[in-house]
Amino acid sequence: MTGNAGVHREEVLEKHFVERLVKAQGYELRTASDYHVGRALDSGPLLRFVQETQKSEWDRFVAQYAGSSEQAFLEGVERARKATGTIGLLRQGLKFVPGIKFDVCAFAPASGVNADLVTRYGKNILSVIRQVRYSARNGNEIDVVLFVNGIPVVTIEIKNKPTGTTLRDAENQYRKDRPPANEPLLEFKRGAVVHFALDDDNASMTTRLENGKTKFVPFDRGRDGGAGNPDIPGDFRVGYLWADQPEMPAVFSREVLLQILGSFVHVEKTEDDKGTKKQAVVFPRYHQLAAVRAIVADAKAKKSGQNYLVQHSAGSGKSNTIAWTAHRLISLHDDVDQPVFNTVVIVTDRIVLDRQLQGTVSQFEQTPGLVKKIDGTSRQLKAAIEGGARIIITTIQKFGTEHVKELAGQRGRTFAVLVDEAHGSQSGANATALGAALGGGDPSATVEEAIAEHQRSRGPQPNVSYVAFTATPRNVTLERFGRPGPGGRMRAFHAYPMRQAIEEGFILDVLQSYMTYKAYYSLEKAVDDDPEMNVRRARPKVARFASLHPTAVDQKVWVIVEHFRRHVMADIGGQAKAMVVTASREHALRYHQSMRDHIAEQGYTDMKALVAFSGELEVDGHRYTEAGINGFSETELPGRFDAEQDCRVLIVAEKYQTGFDQPKLAAMYVDRKLAGLQAVQTLSRLNRTTTDKRRTFILDFQNEVEDIKGAFEPFYQSTTLSERSDLNQVYVLENKLRGSSIIDRDDVEAFARIYFKGDLTAQDRIGLQALLRPAIDRFEEEDEGRQEEFRSTARSFSRFYAFVAQIVSLSDTDIEKLDAYVGYLLRLLPEREVPGDNEITDDMVRLRAFRLVAREEQDASLTPTAGRALDPITEFGGGIAEEEEEALSEIVRVFNDRHGTDFRPEDMRKFEEDGDTVADDEDMTEMLRNNPRDVVFPFFNQKMFNALVRRMQRENKLGNIIMTDPVVRERLTRHLFDRAVSRTAKPGNKASDQARLTPVDHDKTGKQEREFKA
């Protein structure tokens, strides 16, 4: 025991670290006596590098500074470090009168064409010193310091878990015992670039020592989708710092460390929580470094024409990752020293170009004119592409303009397209236009060739690679940009998932404190007669009437304001703010009016609410705008909300539910239905971190906790797709369109001959519309149900074909012609007339009673095992539900039944399982396919009744509700019957396929349950 005690000492890890750097990474081992405390320099390697790599300049220097050349050189190095910092010195070198310039570091050249640069790079001297005494004022020592040509770049404090110390102790050592003032090694910018704390298992880093305010961030690889590091056979878990790993060489290897110093680290201007301007040195986190290097390595090996999906959570530093990727790709050369990409295009779907992204990319610009920001017209974009601009930053919308569509002959050049927020930027016509602009060939001789060329330009292009970034990839995103993983499931090329970001503290877990409220309404008819109303349209209007009633709004506002003041307002040093998410612009207005009045009545002079919605709103004969209510312009709102302390609450309708980064948001009050990706994006407005922000609150008046957790699950860890979509469904939709009475093949062919000939004149457009007129006439001759079925099918075809055409290179000009024809036809078809007989007014319905009941607050956080794959595009809805006429009194009663019972989505799914079992019976399926609805329903009703009896025996509570309430039972059976009819017409069944593309995040059972309850 005594003889082995030394194996647990801290110096064992320290010695192992240094030994591996020397033996495996070629470091030169130097001693503490070689280090000059005052200069923070090991001058031996520095002088050696300069004299060996720049001999002629050194000879000139010696002649100029005879007798004191080394002293003069070292003094010049000191001046340069004070002026430009360590990074500036390493990248820019230094100059001496009369124009003698020295490089103190040789970074890897972009290509091997210049042999002298390659040789000079190989002569860099990486060295390491243990136990460096860094201060002339005390005996403090840094465990390990890494040098590049004698210039210190990394300091490291090491702790040892077996002796009871961890990297937290190392961090505290920096905070408490390593004051940076007047210490050249530790001073910001002038000293070492980065400071690491580590133990056996974990590592963290900081680029600025500020005593007790020093902030460290994790520098771990991630373990099983969460924080930490995986085991490394035969080494410590932090061995990736000194030992090469499958995904990347060692972080402190010559290749990686010099690349970080030369291409990644940069100084940016920031503001602290109090608005004080300061500078920060940005050093890449491990996932950023690994992602960029992996993309670059793959692109070098495979050249252009590849897709990369980067799933990096909020808090991942996406703007920096995009900027690093852009600059690395534009300088990338292949094995024969040819550039892999001629141009890098960064696109976003935000109409106003992302200023942060612009600034981040531009600040890496070392060559003037390298980055071209297209914040003007589309002509500017066209000129930049034609002029061979190296890095272009633009919005996706500009690719859909006529000027950019004129581009031709770009197939001979190579492009890397970096997509910010892939799920928004790479769908629809603008994405198709982008591919066509960058991948299109020269104009074709015949119309048929032009159609084939147009189709080719929509699909994968051998000269265009896409790097798509998103925290929440949808199924179409995974199919468009993902790559097959284990089991063939599509997944991201690189992932830094939500779970890891939460566990590492870069974002907060917004589900940690989740409270739901249940609203109970009782309505009654206030008119003597009993008008017939359209059920499908009237029910939502009754619900809207109830939710907008002053009593309901006032009670919810009371809960919101008092909860915020009691539980949230004092957080973040008294700076906490909240967001109220409402269902419509009128809801936002009513909430604002009620909150304004409540605040005034209570005398709360320290808070006020702002409102955010688009356009002009007319309510009760008055017109309202966001600017008019708030008293300042829309563009001022984010800044005012942030800076003015009494602006505590922001009430929104659609706006600011995505892309709004406000770290002071600590609470969200939700009064609208949220589902799928929308739920994740909306609630994630809360997850940004800031000083003293430790928790968040969500109060939800509309959604169930389990539904919200289900929405987050696919994105909690690395998102995958359960299986690929059946792309052949596009031909099912095509056949359904061609089989309709509205589409005529000859019309489609005639249309295509004009449409694809190019350079359309006004006369051509007149001709196109003339060719569409017969189809419009045939459409108008159909009944309303047939019209809407065709419209739904046509829209589904257009969307799905646009998706399929991006995934695969098609060789089918017939379907391309149909797509062009249908797309134009949809714009000309008359809109469906909406009957005006379903208005619900105050004199028709009155609110008899309202009760708001709080449920128990929950920790809804997901567990480490949470997660599920996304489903592919498999379902196509179709047709128009049969219109059902029903008295207003019945509609009100069904609404009251809805809010008087306690159904949950889980309960409804059990009934739907029973209904599906009945519908899937072979005899019942045949009846549904081959008989009118009114003939089949009595048989279905009897079978369903038997199934409900069996359910009652298993689920006593639910069974009693159904069996003792014939109205609810009738509603449920009708709903399940409609569902059964729809199931017989799904793709894969023998009945005619229906044709409305189901939204990507559509939760089928959840939606039907909501429709039934409405």
Helix (H, G, I), strand (E, B) or coil at 819: helix
pLDDT for residue 1014? 24
Place of tokens 């405390």: 37
Q: What is the mean pLDDT of residues 711-727?
A: 91
Residue, of 524 and 947, whose pLDDT is higher: 947
CATH code reported for the domain at 514-716: 3.40.50.300
Least confident of 63-67, 142-146, 231-235, 921-925: 921-925
Task: Give, in order, the Cα–Cα distances in Å from 724 to each of 488, 720, 735, 976, 983.
Answer: 9, 11, 22, 29, 21
Backbone φ and ψ of 36, nearest 5°: -100, 115
Query: Residue 161: its pLDDT value, please?
Result: 87
Confidence of residue 110 (pLDDT cuts 50, 70, 90): confident
Q: Decide: helix, strand or coil at residue 625.
A: strand
The mean pLDDT value for 156-185 works out to 94
pLDDT at 884 over 70: no
Residue 909: pLDDT band with limits 50, 70, 90: low
The predicted structure's pLDDT at residue 154:
98
pLDDT band at 527 (very low <50, low <70, confident <90, very high): low
Q: How far is CA 80 from CA 87, 126, 730, in A?
A: 10, 21, 64
CB 217 within 8 A of CB 506: yes
What is the model's pLDDT at position 426?
54
pLDDT tens digit string along 490-504? 999 999 999 999 999
Name the more confident of 526 and 762.
762
Helical axes 43-53 vs 69-92, angle rounded to 10°: 80
Average pLDDT over residues 587-603: 96
CATH homologous superfamily of 284-496: P-loop containing nucleotide triphosphate hydrolases (3.40.50.300)
Question: For residue 26, what pLDDT is reported?
Answer: 96
Domain boundaries of the chain, sorted by first residue: 2-257, 284-496, 514-716, 901-1013
The enclosing H or E element of 348 equals strand 343-348
Please tell me the distance from the alpha carbon of residue 261 to that of residue 284, in angstroms, as a whole number.
10
Contact present, 592 and 609 (Cβ < 8 Å): yes
**Arithmetic mean of pLDDT, 767-790:** 91
Give me the pLDDT at residue 354, please: 55
Candidate from 220-229, 359-368, 755-764 with smallest mean pLDDT? 359-368
Checking if the pLDDT of 835 tops 60, the result is no
2: Cβ contacts below 8 Å, ≥ 6 apart: none
Residues 6+ apart with CB under 8 A from 802: 427, 428, 429, 431, 432, 458, 819
* 670 vs 654: CA distance, rounded Å: 12
Q: Is the pLDDT of residue 326 over 50?
A: yes
Q: Which residue has the higher pLDDT, 374 or 284?
A: 284
**pLDDT for 223 beyond 50:** yes
Indicate the residue type of 651.
I
Please report the DSSP string for 406-447 in residue order: T---GGGS-EEEEEESHHHHTSSHHHHHHHHHHH--SPPSSH
Give me the mean pLDDT over the 86-111 stretch: 93
- 8 Å CB contact between 150 and 41: yes
Q: Is 514-716 in the same CATH topology as 284-496?
A: yes
Q: Which residue has the higher pLDDT, 375 or 171?
A: 171
Could you tell me what percent of the chain has a pLDDT over 70?
A: 82
CA distances 770 to 750, 754, 774, 791, Å, are 11, 12, 8, 20
- Distance separating alpha carbons of residues 169 and 172, to the nearest angstrom: 5
Average pLDDT over residues 463-479: 92
Q: Is the pLDDT of residue 888 over 60?
A: no
pLDDT in tens, 429-455: 677 778 778 876 666 668 888 888 888
Mean pLDDT across the chain = 84
Higher local confidence (pLDDT), 660 or 992: 660
Please give the radius of gyration of the chain, using alpha carbons only, rounded to the nearest integer.
33
Taking CA atoms, 1007 is separated from 709, 794, 1003, in Å, by 16, 23, 6
* Amino acid 1011: pLDDT: 27
Q: Residue 985 has what pLDDT?
A: 55
Judged against a pLDDT cut of 70, whether residue 998 lies above it is answered with no
